[in-house]
Chain A
Amino acid sequence: MTAILDVQNLAVRFGPTLAVRNASFTVQKGETHCIVGESGCGKSVTALAIMNLLARNARRDAKSIAFAGQDILAYSDRQMEDVRGNRMAMIFQEPMTSLNPSYTIGSQMTEVLRRHHNTTRDLAEQRAIGLMQRVGITAPQMRLGQYPHQLSGGLRQRVMIAMALMCDPELLIADEPTTALDVTVQAQILRLLAELKQELGLGILLITHDLGIVARVADHVSVMYAGEVIETGRTADLFANPSHPYTRGLIDCVPVPGKIKPGEALGSIPGTVPVMKDGFSGCAFRFRCPQASEICTQAVPRHEVGPNHLVQCHLPSRQGGAQ
């Protein structure tokens, strides 16, 4: 298996606020990698940082962001434009507002293909119709001439997915694609993403705050807390052997482990995510951690607790685990 995306030590700051700190994870080809965490922990910012779509007041730093073996960190704006929408596509949390109200669905879908590939309008429309059928949009021919306001939220999100697939991307970043939709539509969209991954060999980076979704669709999970990836591993390993007190807390919040239903949100751990400012050191979770101790105010080491299963916590070393 080869990595389609490898992020090493990503950090994003808005002025003195550290939205993402030292985040590292890898997405393999043909697999779904979930990033999970509470609201405000920096999931969207991480996704936008990979796409280089951050707001102007943001500063991005990283050791490397390798996409299909290439370090895109060093890419110029023009080079990045050629990658975005083409080899790396993204769908957003807000289907209602993510399409331009002034242009037809057809115009917005064909535009991306014509931007990156030399093709005629007709061919682009053919492809759009094909993909709309694939993502389960009925009467695609008619939809081409419609405006976003004429479509329901679920349809719009399907349009967004079809649009993201127009150029056959190698990586699809989906930022909570189902949060704004009702439960049945949610399930359909998730099934669709899983099928697409199989069919097209896509790497999917799926962002969610819903452990139920993680359990159902993820091959690999990274848990984020206050801007850091505090545990990452294969889904089965992580659920079988959650090694970070925060991950354990999350899983314990769900009534019957293994029988997790979609729609079960996180956040039943007492306390809230602190906002990270310059000069913070030690473990960010120590204010809510039942196992916190003196040493937790010091820089936290990363341990390998299993194959491809990393955790960032003092516990393993305290319990005698080797560095």
Chain B
Amino acid sequence: MTRFIFRRALLALSVVMTVMALAFVLTRLSGDLAISIAGPGSTQADVEVIRKAYGLDRPVLVQFFDWTRLALTGDFGNSFFFKDKVSNLIGQRMPVTFTLGFTGLAVALVISLPLGILAALNENTWIDRLVSLLVMVGQAMPSFWLGLILMIVFGLQLGWLPISGTGSWQHFVMPAIVLAFTAVPALTRLMRSGMIEALGSDYIRTARAKGLSRSSIIFKHALRNAAIPVVSIAAVQLGFMLGGSIVIETVFALHGVGYLAWESISKNDFPVVQAVVLVLASIYIGLTLVSDILNALLDPRLRGA
């Protein structure tokens, strides 16, 4: 088990390093950074000053190692636009994104687990088909569009919830619902197929042969096994959701990391962009690691290994 965790952690670390390189390359794609920082209408002299000031005159590899070294200590440099340390900016915005992500995941689980179980228990009936239809609809629904519709209905017409901003918990309701919507299809499918597989297994036949009640068979014997992959995938799904929060935060002007990323991309604020990509990717990598370990802990067959 420790060996397994160690090897998984090592893999995670090398993925993080690769993503760092990618995040660095990403911001060099736009050509000469000094020119884009200086902005339109600046003179050649201005550009040269900026090039020196930001250390952009040094060889690219030196710049990369410098950035990496500092990034590993949590120092991502300064934002051009916000005139603040990037780490501060991200630190301030992270709680909003995490709140959104966790609420979204919780809502998604509350919706998708019962739906998946319901569909599995009624396999190939109209209930099952209705759930599949819902999953299909969920998959095809553009999240930003759903967000706008909710705004019109609950914000404007019913006046129940604030339309945008970050002020109170009410501001998180619609974004969390929309974010949850993006995770519901995958989780429902997984729960359904896991439950169908579990219900058709030999140990369920044994449980029935023991005269156990229907509820004990479903909730004790089948659910335990069907839920293992769902629980571990939920961690991965949270990572997806944090990555996808950029669209939703922008729609609802929710000042989280995603919104920060959008602002800095529009403003060519490359240190922030780099850092957000790296941070979100690292969180995702961390979560998949957690997911694998969780999976091993929940499944007695893997626990001993």
Q: Which residue of B lies closest to A77 (CB)?
A: B214
Interface assignment of A163: CB less than 8 Å from any CB of chain B: yes
Contact across chains for B211 and A92 when beta carbons are under 8 A apart: no
Interface assignment of B301: CB less than 8 Å from any CB of chain A: yes
When distances are taken between beta carbons in the complex, the residues of chain A under 8 Å from B209 are: 51, 53, 84-85, 89-90, 92
Interface centre among B209, B216, B224, B299 (most CB of A within 10 A): B209
Per DSSP, chain B at the interface is: helix
Q: Which residue of A lies closest to B208 (CB)?
A: A53
Beyond A100-B225, A147-B300, is A81–B202 a contact (Cβ under 8 Å)?
no
Contact across chains for A84 and B224 when beta carbons are under 8 A apart: no
The CA-CA distance from A90 to B209 in the complex, in Å, is: 6
Per DSSP, chain A at the interface is: mixed
Please report which residues of chain A, range 80-138, place their CB below 8 angstroms from some CB of chain B when the two chains form the complex. Answer: 80-86, 89-90, 92, 94, 97-103, 111-112, 115-116
The CA-CA distance from A147 to B303 in the complex, in Å, is: 11
Contact across chains for B203 and A101 when beta carbons are under 8 A apart: yes
When distances are taken between beta carbons in the complex, the residues of chain B under 8 Å from A80 are: 211
Q: Which residue of A lies closest to B221 (CB)?
A: A100
Per-position 1/0 for B284-305, Cβ under 8 A of A? 0000000000000001110010
- CB proximity of A53 to chain B, nearest CB, Å: 5
Chain B residues bordering chain A, tally (CB within 8 A): 21
Per-position 1/0 for B211-236, Cβ under 8 A of A? 11100100001001100100000000
Interface assignment of B206: CB less than 8 Å from any CB of chain A: yes
When distances are taken between beta carbons in the complex, the residues of chain A under 8 Å from B279 are: none
- CB proximity of B259 to chain A, nearest CB, Å: 42
From A90, A98, A101, A147, B225 is in contact (CB under 8 Å) with A101
Contact across chains for A84 and B210 when beta carbons are under 8 A apart: yes
Interface centre among A51, A84, A100, A160 (most CB of B within 10 A): A100
Interface assignment of A191: CB less than 8 Å from any CB of chain B: no
Beyond A92-B206, A97-B201, A150-B304, is A102–B224 a contact (Cβ under 8 Å)?
yes
Contact across chains for A98 and B203 when beta carbons are under 8 A apart: yes
When distances are taken between beta carbons in the complex, the residues of chain A under 8 Å from B225 are: 100-102
**Can you give 13 contacting A-B residue pairs, CB < 8 Å?**
A80-B211, A84-B208, A92-B209, A98-B203, A98-B206, A100-B203, A100-B221, A101-B300, A101-B301, A102-B224, A102-B225, A112-B210, A116-B211
Residues of A within 8 A of B (CB): 51, 53, 80-86, 89-90, 92, 94, 97-103, 111-112, 115-116, 147, 149-150, 160, 163
